């Protein structure tokens, strides 16, 4: 409980839709928890009030979230970009969240050598007919759409479809079913925060977005500290330019400086090697627990 802030009235609560199952669910809850929000401890809870932060969470089917947000029943939600596009709901992306990354792709039996143009008149199975239909319309192709709820990769073997369009992450499911990709990716998807399109941004959205930004920065960046002599400080600063500029402070030892800069986590090892080669020493990397930039 936040001791120096009174609880808000329910009228000013930000109502947030969170996926209750599937690939988005755990990652979304983990991100909200990391951002300091209360999350449900029991997967059967459907609503959770976080009074201290002025937020109420509603746990809903991922596919329904864009509908609730588009209708204005809930203020914001977390869903997949592919699900938002498929829904046709009047909701827009506020920001990507970096989890549940996937591509939406066409696939057919290995060796079929299909192209999008050749899809004309074929039976196409998918759980995302809205997304696929709008892509095909843009390409002037019309198919017979077979709407399935899941396990779409089996549809061809069972004889209900000639081709499929589905979520692909590693490609394992496709390979296991003897299918191969064709055509360009229909969509690059990931978990996203959405809000209603035809309305002012809801009160309370900004602090939520700032917190989620903070989580993403803390996940993707680390803090790098090192000592550098005066003759290499400029070159070292070019290697670690930070987000705006590195902090360079004089050390007690004449002619030496302490340098501090945020660097992308994935580059940290290579940057340490480069700095060492240049002559920097006492190179330390630490996690960023939280931040507001
Ligand atoms: N294997 C995966 N890797 C990465 N993202 C995925 C994967 N499967 C699905 N997604 C993404 O997760 C989001 C929700 O899809 P998911 O399959 O979890 O929902 P669902 O099919 O309604 O649930 P379930 O599969 O439990 O019935 C979509 O945006 C989708 O792109
Ligand atoms: O490329 P891969 O790493 O194999 O992942 C992609 C698979 O994951 C999802 O399936 P999910 O488990 O959600 O089952 P569903 O088809 O019933 O939704 C998706 O629909 C693909 O089938
Ligand atoms: Mg699924």
Domain stop point among 173, 203, 233: 203
102 Cα to the center of ligand 3, angstroms:
11
Does the beta carbon of 150 lie inside 6 Å of ligand 2?
yes
* Residue of 111, 108, 113, 137 whose CA lies nearest to 124: 108
CA angle 146, 92, 26 (to 5 degrees): 75
Assigned domain for 215 exists? no
Q: Ligand 2: which of 82, 106, 157, 167 to mutate, judged by most atoms within 8 Å of the beta carbon?
A: 167
Does the beta carbon of 249 lie inside 6 Å of ligand 2?
no
List the residue whose alpha carbon is closest to atom 15 of ligand 2.
150
Domain containing 94 equals 10-100+191-203
Query: What is the ipTM metric for this complex?
Result: 0.96
Could you read off the pLDDT tens digit of each residue along the chain, which spans 293 residues?
444 655 555 568 999 999 999 999 999 999 999 999 999 999 999 999 999 999 999 999 999 999 999 999 999 999 999 999 999 999 999 999 999 999 999 999 999 999 999 999 999 999 999 999 999 999 999 999 999 999 999 999 999 999 999 999 999 999 999 999 999 999 999 999 999 999 999 999 999 999 999 999 999 999 999 999 999 999 999 999 999 999 999 999 999 999 999 999 999 999 999 999 999 999 999 999 999 98
22 Cα to the center of ligand 3, angstroms:
6
Alpha-carbon distance of 208 to 17, in angstroms, equals 13
173 Cα to the center of ligand 2, angstroms:
7
Q: Which two tokens stand for residue 62?
A: 């991922």
Same domain, 165 and 130: yes
- Which ligand sits closest to the CA of 125? 2
Same domain, 66 and 52: yes
Same domain, 94 and 109: no
Number of domains making up the chain: 3
Same domain, 110 and 174: yes
For position 4, what pLDDT does the model report? Answer: 62
Same domain, 116 and 131: yes
For position 8, what pLDDT does the model report? Answer: 54
Residue 253 neighbours by CB under 8 Å, 6+ apart? none
153 Cα to the center of ligand 3, angstroms:
11
290 Cα to the center of ligand 1, angstroms:
28
For position 5, what pLDDT does the model report? Answer: 59
Same domain, 91 and 116: no
- Which ligand sits closest to the CA of 164? 2
For position 293, what pLDDT does the model report? Answer: 87
The CATH number of the domain holding residue 264 is 3.30.70.120
Assigned domain for 122 exists? yes
């Amino acid at each position: 409980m936040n001791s120096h802030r009174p609880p808000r009235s329910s009228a000013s609560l930000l109502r947030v839709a969170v996926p209750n199952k599937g690939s988005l669910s755990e990652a979304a809850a983990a991100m909200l928890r990391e951002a300091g929000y209360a999350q449900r401890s029991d997967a059967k809870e459907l609503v959770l009030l976080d009074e201290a932060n002025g937020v109420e969470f509603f746990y809903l089917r991922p596919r329904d979230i864009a509908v609730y947000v588009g209708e204005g029943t809930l203020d914001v939600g977390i869903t997949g970009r592919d699900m938002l596009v498929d829904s046709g709901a009047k909701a827009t992306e506020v920001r990507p969240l970096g989890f549940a990354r996937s591509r939406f792709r066409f696939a057919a039996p290995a060796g079929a050598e299909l192209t999008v143009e050749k899809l004309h008149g074929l039976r196409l199975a998918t759980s995302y007919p809205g997304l696929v239909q709008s892509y095909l319309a843009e390409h002037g192709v019309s198919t017979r759409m077979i709407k399935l709820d899941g396990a779409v990769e089996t549809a061809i073997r069972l004889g209900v479809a000639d081709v499929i369009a589905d979520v692909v992450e590693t490609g394992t499911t496709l390979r296991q079913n003897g299918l191969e990709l064709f055509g360009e990716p229909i969509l690059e998807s990931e978990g996203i925060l959405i809000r209603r399109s035809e309305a002012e941004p809801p009160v309370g959205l900004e602090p939520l977005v700032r917190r989620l930004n903070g989580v993403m920065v803390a996940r993707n960046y680390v803090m790098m500290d090192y000592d550098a002599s005066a003759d290499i400080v400029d070159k070292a600063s070019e290697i670690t330019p930070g987000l705006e500029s590195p902090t360079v402070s004089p050390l007690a030892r004449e002619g030496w400086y302490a340098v501090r800069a945020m660097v992308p986590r994935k580059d940290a090892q290579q940057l340490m090697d480069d700095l060492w080669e240049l002559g920097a020493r006492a190179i330390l990397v630490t996690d960023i627990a939280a931040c507001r930039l």
